[in-house]
Chains A and B, each alone.
Chain A
Amino acid sequence: MERSLRLRTALTTALHVLLAGLLIVAVLAIFVFAPTEETMGQAQRILYLHVSVAWAGLAGFLLMAGAGALYLLRRDLRWDHWAAAAAEVGWLCSTLTLITGSLWAHAAWNTWWTWDPRLTATAVLWAVYCAYLILRSGLEDPHRRARAGAVLAIIGMVDLPMVTMATRWFRGIHPPSPQMEPAMRLALLLSVAAFTGLFGLLVACRRRQLQIQEMLFRLEQDSDM
């Protein structure tokens, strides 16, 4: 028991160090390694961050709905902790997507916001995240909260194809994945990998916290009886 715990701590630390290294490399790649784009200049570097958090925002939604569905099947609160953690971090990423996207829009299109199909779908995704968090905060009983959240997350899934397919299905001004220089593509890949790792780490930490909270709650209940 003692040994496996020590091994686990060592592994976690190694993972954290690896992730920190990856983040530093990604930041260097974005600001030093990647060439400056011709028409947009330095502002184009927002793209690396924007794509990374946008992807994490979508992944968070998928995780939230997937964990919610697993909760409904298994009725195990551990799945609900995953869903709740994914929702909170996903909400953050979705918010950052809107903010970085808005900065990009100001540099590229000379407007902070426009109702392009993909922008609209992303705003809807953000609002569904908000609704999910508000719904959860209104419910006390953990199983009831888990059930209600799972139902909302699963219906919210209808918006995901709207976000991903928006640039193909409708005419808008949000660019689909463009042709890029190899150095730019590499910087983007590094950035996406680093932020996906960071996203995963944050979700895992928050899940652990929720789990401990739940254990504490049970212990308190038991001691009352």
Chain B
Amino acid sequence: MLARLGWMIHKDLVTEWRARRAWPAMLLLGIVVAALFSLQADLAPSEKHAVASSLLWVAIFFAGMVAIERSFAAERDEGCWDALLLYPIPPGLIYLAKLLANVVALGVLQCVLIPLFAVLADVPLAVHPWALILVAALGNLGIAAVGTLLSALSAGLRQRGSLLVLLVLPLAVPVLLAASEATRLAGEDSLGAAWWQWVQLLAAFALAFSVAGTLLIDVAVED
């Protein structure tokens, strides 16, 4: 099972590497949002610290959706979907593979955006590097879990691109809020109880969305 999961993720990453359909657009959108932020927000340093983390997560979300939207739509457009369903694995595993591929995509995006925001907002980046990595990973999982499920659901829809963002955003708001608060608090000198509370909330949402996605994918993809 694990090997098959690995191969599914491998397939998605190799396809993306060869065709470069989604990731360049995703990275560019993220960078443009970051640039707009620093161009437009002429704030005092303390104010910049306060808003940088929330803008960072807004940028991650909107840019990430470019990649997430493709994950099931690409299979349908290229006619690979039926072949994928014939592959002897349960749909839950297809979902997990797509989810993890999207987590990788969001991770790549974060590797660009987090340093970029840190430089532009002049925030100390690595006060608690592990805390920041933990928050980033959990936030990724939360966004990707709900995004992947709904991208499967809306894969056959008209104007699915703009619609998907609209469907995912309300559900992802708690994740984005918790992630941006936890990111902001991870940049402070000492990690307090408040930070831990946000991380717990973030973990709860990431877990709930991943489990719900694995269970609900069966009905989302049947046609």
Contact = CB atoms under 8 A, between A and B. Distances in A.
A173 interface: no
A162 B163 contact: no
B164 to A, nearest CB: 10
The 5 closest A-B pairs by CB, nearest first: A127-B170, A128-B170, A131-B167, A124-B173, A151-B216
Interface of A: 72, 120-121, 124, 127-128, 130-131, 134-135, 138-139, 144, 147-148, 150-152, 154-156, 158-159, 162
B174 interface: yes
Interface of B is mostly: helix
B219 A72 contact: yes
Contact of B169 (A127, A151, A152): A127
A120 B149 CA distance: 24
Task: Give the interface residue-count category, chain B.
Answer: 20 to 34
> Could you say which of B149, B154, B173, B208 has the most chain A C-beta atoms within 10 Å of its C-beta?
B173
B113 interface: no
Interface of B: 146, 149-150, 153-154, 157-159, 163, 166-167, 169-171, 173-174, 177, 205, 208-209, 212-213, 216, 219-220, 222-223
Contacts of A124: 170, 173-174
Contacts of B146: 155
Nearest to B212: A155
A158 B209 contact: yes
Contacts of B208: 158
B166 A131 contact: yes
Given A124-B173, A151-B149, A138 B216 contact: no
A130 B171 CA distance: 11
A151 B212 CA distance: 9
B74 to A, nearest CB: 20
B153 A152 contact: yes
A147 B218 CA distance: 11
A193 B166 CA distance: 34
Nearest to A156: B171
Given A72-B219, A147-B219, A162 B149 contact: no
Given A124-B173, A148-B153, A155-B149, A135 B163 contact: yes
Nearest to B205: A158
A112 B94 CA distance: 46
A77 to B, nearest CB: 15
B170 A130 contact: yes
B222 A147 contact: yes
Given A150-B219, A155-B216, 4 more contacts: A131-B166, A135-B163, A151-B220, A158-B212
A124 B150 CA distance: 17
B150 A152 contact: yes
A75 to B, nearest CB: 10
Nearest to A148: B153
A72 B216 CA distance: 10
Contacts of B212: 154-155, 158
Nearest to A72: B219
B141 to A, nearest CB: 14
A156 B209 CA distance: 10
B153 A127 contact: no
Contacts of A121: 174
B161 to A, nearest CB: 12
